Each structure stands twice: as structure tokens, then as C-alpha cells.
Chains A and B, each alone.
Chain A
Amino acid sequence: MSEVPPPPHRRRAHTSKRDLERYAGLFAARTARPEVISLAGGLPDTSTFPPQSFAAQMTRIAQESAAEALQYGPTEGFEETKDCILEVMGAEGMLPDPDDVIVTTGGQQAIDLVCKTLVDPGDVVICEAPTYPGAVPVFCSYEAEVIQVECDADGMRIDELEQLLERLRGEGRRPKFIYSVPSFQNPAGVTMSIARRQRLVELARQQEILVVEDNPYGLLRYSGEPMPPLYQLDGGDFVIYIGTFSKILSPGIRLGWAVAPPPVMEKIVLGKQAADLCTSTLTQYFVREYFSEGRWQQYVADLVGIYRDRRDAMLEALREHFPAEATWTEPEGGLFIWATLPPYIDTGDLLAKALRADVAFVPGQAAYIDERGRNSMRLNFSGVDEDEIREGIRRIGQVIAEQVDLYGALTGQAPSAPASAKPDGAEVLPFRKSGEAGG
């Protein structure tokens, strides 16, 4: 039997909203200087997209479909766009009914529309701890009560989730949905194990609770075996799926989608109508053109090669430059590594020091609605090249080392050895490995 985990932290979400806004505000201005190496963003690298083919596609649209591409489109999105979406989902083994699909203005709008459809003030929304920092303000804007369930190296702790559901049931409450980024999670970089995926889907079915699966990075796998999405395991009865072209093509085109069972979809369509009538027809035409060339999978494969090298460069730099007290995740895909420092280092304050050294990251607190995450940071490896990654990590490592030494001087503890002095393999996962319970 595994030991009983502590109860998940909870707090009325509106408190956290301000924390996040504050962080976002601090960042926007601070990291804008060009000389700063920013490991803070979540930016895919769009520089490798061939400009000639971009020009050719847009020219073709202008010549052949100008009137339609400049016109309003259906709220649900064009059938042709949905065909592209089915191709992308098919690449991960999913086969949704096109009628269950709606094209949205980025995955972010899909999160918003799901909340708009499902969440009433005071409703419980469950998500991971840490969670995608961009989702929490959405939950908050619909006045959800956000409860976070701890993650470890295998993703969300399903045993903890079960206890939480049990407790909520005791209080006569049901969560509106469980939000998860099961693959290469933002910000933690961890991936939910197959056993936990199966258990989560089973729980959703048994207790008739919706799961919102946000899967922006699923195709960006650099190592390990592909995992079935929750949507595939469930067949789409209790899993609402959110996808996006942002990470496999371009975030600038703002094209994402949601897949939901018909009763939910009907309401999402109404919400979408009210929000913006339809997703940009021009960018839908662009995606259609782009997919018709049949090279999108090759482009994703190219990106995977680039990001794999960058991930490896960052992991290597972390081993070289971060102190022995630091731990970090080793993601098999996606865009992020989550590093955890000794508890006496507040990464929000560390950022001030790091910015003086011209390097930026996201302080971990942005991914929590409570006080946790203060000694963690999210590091992005997709947005800058390998030399910058190495230099950025070196600079962060240096400011951390200064803090560690200072703390040692303040408390009389011995100064630290560099991380590379650690025996191989005995390291790096900041998350507790769970016991057998929870799969």
C-alpha cells in the first residue's frame, strides 16, 4: 500500500488570478530587451518554415479563392479544415466524427469555450499541480474553484485524484471537469503513464465526470514510445479533446480545435458564435493549402529533430551548470523542462538577479494557485538555439550558485558541489515517484 498523500491544496481561485497577472505583468516588460536570452517563452521556432512555400500558398489563395478567404465562414469551421484536423489526430491514433469537431481561434479559445459552456461560478475544476499557467486565468474568469492535484514523474497522481473525488462526493459536490495536459506537460514536461491514463478514463466513465485533454505537444516526441491520448482510450464519451496547429505549424495563425460529444458541442458552437462568429477563414485556407502539399508530417519530423537537439543541449547544460541541490525533469517531448531548486531560493526573486545577467525563465509559482512552486522554474528549450540554451543555463546556474553559497554562509552550511560531481543516474526527478497505487 502506498502512504496516504497530503490533501490537495485548494483555494478560491480569484486570489491566484492576481498573482498570475502580476507575474505576467512583470515579465512582459522585463524580458522584452533584445539582449536577454529568454528561456521564459513557450515559443515554437517558426524560423525554419520555408518562406517560399508560405508565399506560394498565400499566392494560390489570393489567386484562386480570394473572395471566399476574405469572407465569413461557418462557426464550426470549414469541412476542409476538419479534414486536416482528422489527419493530425489520426497521426496519434484518434478518429473522431467530424461533426464533433469545432475549429477555434487557437487552443486557448477552446479552453475558454469549454469553460463558458460548462462552468458556473463556484464550480470545481480540477487540474494538475503544476498546471498550464495560461489555463488558470480562464478558469478564474468563470469563477471556478480550482483544485490542483499533484504531479510526479508519471503525470497527475491518480490516487490523489481518487481521494479528492471521494472527498468532494462526501461534500455533495462534483467537479465540472478534470483538466489535464497528459503528454509532455506544460510546465512540468512530464507525461502521464499508460496505467494512469487508463485509470483516469475509467474513473471518468464510472463517475460520469468529463475530462478535458489538452494535447498541444503530442506529436513532438523526441524519445520513448508514443502514448495513446485519453481521447483514444475513452472513445470520446467523457473526454473533451483540445488540439492546436500552434506547435506543429504556427501559433501566429491562431488555429486550434475542440472535439466534444454532441450535447456539449452544441453549446460550444453557441458560445463560439457569441465570441467571434467564426475562426479566421484566411488562416483556415492557409492550413488547407499547406496540408494539400502533403508535407506537414515531414515538417513536424524536422521540428522534432531540432527540438530534440535543443532538449539534449539543455539537459547537458543543466548537468554541467546547476548545483547539486537542483533537480529537473527529463521530458520525452514538448517544449519545457521543470527545474526545482533548494526550498530557500524564491525563483521570483532569483529572476531579478537572472535578468541582470540577461537571462529569463518563468518562476514556478505561476503554475500554482497557492504558495507552492516558489522554488521551481519553467525552462523553455524550443525558442532559442543550442548555443543560447547553453549560455542561458550557464548564466542561471551561476546566479543559483551564488544564492546557494550565500545561504551556506548565512546558515553555516558547507558550500555545494557542482551537479556534475553527483554519481551518474542518482538524480533529477523533482517529483516523488509514486507507489503502486494510482497506477
Chain B
Amino acid sequence: MKVAVLKGGRSLERGVSLRSGARVEDALGRLGHEVLALDVGADLVKRLTAERPDVAFVAMHGVGGEDGTAQELLELLDIPFTGPGVAACARCMDKVLAKHAIREAALPTPDWFAFNQAAFRELGAADALGQLEGSLGFPLVVKPSRGGSSLGVKFAASAVEVPQALVSAFSYDERVLLERFVEGRELAVSILGDEALPIVEAIPAGGDRYDFEARYEIGRTEFVCPAELGESESAAVTETALGAYRALGCTGFARVDLILAADGPQVLEANAIPGLTDTSLLPQAAEAAGMSFERLVERILDLALEPAAA
């Protein structure tokens, strides 16, 4: 089979995407497929039209590849592709849209308020900050609505830290959200098809849960898979993650990130195209389920080619 691997692009997560893509290409080669590696740029449509791959493996992260843009083109060109479709990608990419969908499905997610820059620049939203902070309490988390790898995610311990955190978050997106900080264990559930893989727990090495940057620095976070959870806890987490996956309309695969608080799991976000590098969580979870990377890649391809997935 001729498989186009879409990777790179202009997103801030270009580097991660190139690594994901390279690893997928290796696996596809070992599986005996003909691999067409595409660093996504202005010639994407031309190349896809000329090469006519049987299927596209989308290994792009962030804006442009994970938000439905590339998927829209693939639909137009009638090339089957891996992972969620256009609408699900668009919802997952935008944390505010995702949280609305999750809450509408009666699933738990931390309280939040979202603003775009115009609200602050033109509508005096700053005057509402005090009220909003009172409602969410401190500490609170400030995030760009679209973005990945925790880029621009800031933690504000008090009111004076909020404007600065907003300035940082607005560097990544026109819209940001202020979210209630929920204390708990950080879990990730990777879903393949309609099946949840073993749960991964991220444990910051220093034990300092307020240090968000630690999560993405090598060596500062330990990942445990399968997470040590009781049977009922584990079931609640898996069920919530599957619920979010369905509420967002995901197909193929996705990863749902949650916090397991004292009163149960809360969904933070879903990643339509989770990383596939050798340190990424989806491959780790697959491995814990006894699935090699090659088998994982093969299964993802199969899901893309199933008629129901389109």
C-alpha cells in the first residue's frame, strides 16, 4: 500500500511532528508499505494529487495539522486518512470548544472562563477579572485555547500574576481560558478505535504539581503505565475518557488528558493527534497493552480504511 506520511508544517510543534513522522515512516517501511514522506508545505495538494497515495498518515501536531485543516484537504482529494475527522479535530484543537462539548455531554471538566483579545482591548474585560477570579479561586491556570505541549500554559497563584499569564497565553492564540486549578493525579487515556488502552500517569519528579513546565522537560516527569489505580477508579477514568472521545466525535485514535481529583476524574483536554515519538504516551500505552509500534501503526491504518471511519 502507498502511504503518505504528513508531518512538519508550520506549527510550533513542528519538531515533535517531524519525530513522530520519522518513526511512523520507519514502521511503515518495516511493514512493507511504500512510504511517501511529506513535510507539509505549499506544495501539499500538488504532491498528493500527483502521487495519489492509498491512505494518508497524519502525523502533524498543532495548528494546521491537528485542527482539521489538513484533514479538510484530504477529504476534498478523497484520500482516506488516519485519526479523527475534520470536525473532531477542530473541536479537540480548541480547548474552549472541547470543554463546551464535554460539559454538554454531562461529563466533568474544571470550571473556566474564556476570552479573546478583543474582550480585553475593546470591551474592558479586565474589569471583570476580579469577579472571575473570585469565582474560580486561586491558584488558577491560564491557557491558550489552541496550542499543545503545554506551550503558554501558566499558573497564577494570585491576582497580580494574572495579567502577565494572560500576556503569555495570548502569545499563542487569540483566545485564552482561565481554568480552575484541580488538584489530583495527572492521567492520560489513549483510545484506539473505540477501545481504551492502559492508563498512563504523569508524576512530576520534584513532587511539585504547580510546575507545569516540568511536565515537558525530559527527566522531570516520570510516566507510569499502567497507572496504579483501583478497579473502580480505573473504570471511572476510562469511562469518562471514552465519553469525552465520543462527545468530541473522535474516530481512529485520540488521547484524553484528565485529572483524577478526590471526587473523581475531570477532563482537561483531548489531543486528536497525540505524539508518536519514542517518548510519547500513546505508543507507551499501546506497548503496555502488548502492542508493538508496528502493530499500532497497522491498526491505525486499518481504522482509517474502515468504511465507518470516513
Chain A contact residues, CB within 8 Å of chain B: 18-19, 21-22, 25-26, 28-30, 32-33, 344-346, 349-353, 355, 403, 405-407, 409-412
Contact = CB atoms under 8 A, between A and B. Distances in A.
8 contacts: A22-B217, A26-B15, A344-B167, A349-B167, A352-B152, A406-B166, A411-B126, A412-B126
A411 B218 CA distance: 36
Contacts of A351: 171
A409 B172 contact: no
Contact of B167 (A29, A33, A406): A406
Given A33-B10, A410-B126, 17 more contacts: A18-B220, A19-B217, A22-B216, A25-B15, A26-B12, A26-B15, A30-B14, A30-B15, A344-B164, A349-B172, A351-B171, A352-B172, A406-B121, A406-B166, A407-B163, A410-B129, A411-B163
B234 interface: no
Interface in B208-256: 216-220
Interface string B6-23: 000010101100100000
B163 A403 contact: no
Nearest to B15: A29
B167 A410 contact: yes
Nearest to A353: B171
Closest 10 A/B residue pairs (Cβ): A29-B15, A410-B163, A349-B168, A349-B171, A353-B171, A344-B164, A18-B217, A29-B14, A409-B120, A352-B171
B12 A30 contact: yes
A350 B164 CA distance: 12
A410 B152 contact: no
A45 B217 CA distance: 34
A150 to B, nearest CB: 23
Contacts of B15: 25-26, 28-30
Contacts of A352: 12, 151-152, 171-172
Contacts of A411: 126, 163
Main secondary structure of the interface of B (DSSP, over half): helix
Nearest to B9: A33
Contacts of A29: 14-15, 18
B293 interface: no
Counting contact residues on chain B (CB < 8 A from A), the size range is 20 to 34
A239 B170 CA distance: 48
A405 B120 CA distance: 10
- With a 10 A CB-CB cut-off, give which of B14, B18, B167, B218 has the most chain A CB atoms: B167
Contacts of B167: 344-346, 349, 403, 406-407, 410
A399 to B, nearest CB: 8
Nearest to A25: B15
B14 to A, nearest CB: 5
Contacts of A406: 117, 120-121, 166-167, 170
Contacts of B164: 344, 346, 407
A401 to B, nearest CB: 12
B163 A344 contact: yes
A353 B117 CA distance: 14
A22 B150 CA distance: 13
Contacts of B151: 349, 352
Contacts of A19: 217
A32 B163 CA distance: 32
Contacts of A353: 171-172
A351 B120 CA distance: 22
Contacts of B169: 349
Nearest to A346: B168
Nearest to A14: B219
A403 B170 CA distance: 8
Nearest to A36: B10
B141 to A, nearest CB: 15
Interface string B102-126: 0000000000000001001100001
B143 to A, nearest CB: 12
A355 B12 CA distance: 8
A18 B218 CA distance: 7
A406 B116 CA distance: 11
A405 B121 CA distance: 8
Contacts of B220: 18
Nearest to B217: A18
Contacts of B218: 18, 21-22
A374 to B, nearest CB: 10
A23 B155 CA distance: 20
Contacts of A345: 167
Interface string B34-74: 00000000000000000000000000000000000000000
Nearest to B169: A349
- With a 10 A CB-CB cut-off, give which of A345, A353, A403, A405 has the most chain B CB atoms: A353
Nearest to B168: A349
Nearest to B8: A29
A344 B156 CA distance: 13
A346 B151 CA distance: 12
A22 B149 CA distance: 12
A375 to B, nearest CB: 10
A230 to B, nearest CB: 36
Contacts of A28: 15
Nearest to B219: A18
A149 B115 CA distance: 42
Nearest to B218: A18
B3 to A, nearest CB: 23
A410 B120 contact: yes
A352 B172 CA distance: 6
A403 B164 CA distance: 10
A19 B218 CA distance: 9
A352 to B, nearest CB: 5
A33 B39 CA distance: 11
B77 to A, nearest CB: 24
A195 B10 CA distance: 49
Nearest to A19: B217
